[in-house]
Amino acid sequence: MKKLTTPYYLIDESKLERNLKIIQQVREASEAKSVLALKCFSTWGVFDLMRNYLDGTTSSSLFEARLGYEKFGKEVHAYSVGFSKDEIKAVRKFASKVIFNSVSQLTAYSHHVRGIKLGLRVNPGISYSHFDLADPARKYSRLGVSDQAEISKVSSLLSGLMFHFNCENDDTDNICAAIDVIGERYAALLEKMEWVSFGGGIYFTKDGYKLDQFCQKLRQFSGKFGVQVYLEPGEATITHCAELVTTVLDVIHNEVDIAIIDASVEAHLLDHLIYHTTPRIAVPEPGPHHVMIAGRTCLAGDVLGEYDLNARLAVGSEVRIADAAGYTMVKKNWFNGITMPAIVVRRLNGTVDVVRTFGYQDFKRSLS
Domain spans, the chain: 14-238, 242-324+332-365
CATH of region 242-324+332-365: 2.40.37.10
CA distance 4 to 357: 11
Residue 221 in 3-state DSSP? helix
pLDDT of 3: 83
Q: Rg of the chain over CA atoms, in angstroms?
A: 22
- Distance CA(117)–CA(317), nearest Å, equals 53
Q: What 3-state DSSP class applies to 118?
A: strand
Query: For the chain, how far is it from start to end, CA to CA, in angstroms?
Result: 38
Q: Which CATH number fits domain 14-238: 3.40.605.10, 3.50.50.60, 3.20.20.10, 3.40.50.150?
A: 3.20.20.10
Distance CA 39, CA 56 (A): 14
Full-prediction pTM beyond 0.85?
yes
Supply the pLDDT for residue 1: 57
Grouping H, G, I as helix, E, B as strand and the rest as coil, residue 240 is coil
Q: Kind and range of the H or E element at 290?
A: strand 286-294
State percent of the chain over pLDDT 70: 99
Which stretches of the chain score pLDDT less than 50? none
